[in-house]
Amino acid sequence: MDSYRRDGLTFDVRDAGPDDGEPVVLLHGFPQDSSAWDRMAPALHQHGLRTLAPDQRGYSPMARPRGRGAYRLRETAQDVLALLDAAGLDSAHVVGHDWGGIVGWALGAWYPERVRTLTALSVPHPGAMARAVVTSDQGLRSYYMGLFQLPVVPERLLLAGDGAAMRRMLEHGGLPGADVDRYVRRMQEPGALTAAINWYRALPWSGRDPVGTVHVPTLHVWSTGDAFLGRAATEDTARFVDAFYRLEVLDDVTHWIPELAAERTAELVTAHVRA
């Protein structure tokens, strides 16, 4: 399959690997798209796994609804359930990075019957994140999330001068230049950046629907070079999972785990899936 529909929206999806392989849904974050998995997905295929990597809400050109309320977490989680339904899958393994990881945490808490295992890359459980914002340096690391609540201003700042500010932000976070260029070009499409930032603007709506305890076997992968997410929330995350939980720390890797630690992460995901 190369696309699926939900509520009048059409989502692009990359479905690859052996048809009879264990299905693994790959969920990207901001400001990525499904190409974030271009290095990691082939490694998963070599291990016999099938991957389904959608361009999530706001990133697929035909799935950019207006209004920040349309990007609340309950909606983005149900987009993944619609993907499973369209693929004829009762359940799948879920791997999410950045915002995709937050969707993964929600799926593991709200719809555990649809999630065989969860792998969250970089992002801690939202409950641990909320606590760390007020008890550690996480608030400073997340300064941009406050800026993103403003209307219009973030788009103008990030896209000015052919996206110079966005390029600096991504490069500061350690993303390689070729990936920076690709993501910035995608965000320059009409309406793309506003839709992507609306995930942040929907936080007041998402906060009314707490994620809660996760009930599926969970692998959490965090990297010591992450400029956006610190250790405090990472170490607090275990108490939000009441199933098997494992934390794997990657030394000297920045926030962009799918792009920079693809083979190692594929090995971790494969072992987690098969366990």
Annotated catalytic residues are 98, 200, 255
Tokens of 152: 């219009």
220 and 269 in contact (C-beta within 8 Å)? Answer: no
CA-based nearest residue to 31, from 115, 99, 125, 106: 99
Interatomic CA distance for residues 213 and 22, integer angstroms: 25
CA-based nearest residue to 248, from 234, 262, 227: 234
Please tell me whether residue 94 adopts helix, strand or coil conformation.
strand
């001068």: which residue's tokens? 161
How does DSSP classify residue 241? B
Residue type, position 156, single letter = R
Question: What is the number of other CB atoms lying within 10 angstroms of the CB of residue 151?
Answer: 10
Please tell me whether residue 247 adopts helix, strand or coil conformation.
strand
107 and 101 in contact (C-beta within 8 Å)? Answer: no
Q: How far is CA 119 from the centre of its chain?
A: 10
Interatomic CA distance for residues 49 and 159, integer angstroms: 38
12 and 232 in contact (C-beta within 8 Å)? Answer: no
Please tell me whether residue 103 adopts helix, strand or coil conformation.
helix
Question: What is the number of other CB atoms lying within 10 angstroms of the CB of residue 159?
Answer: 17
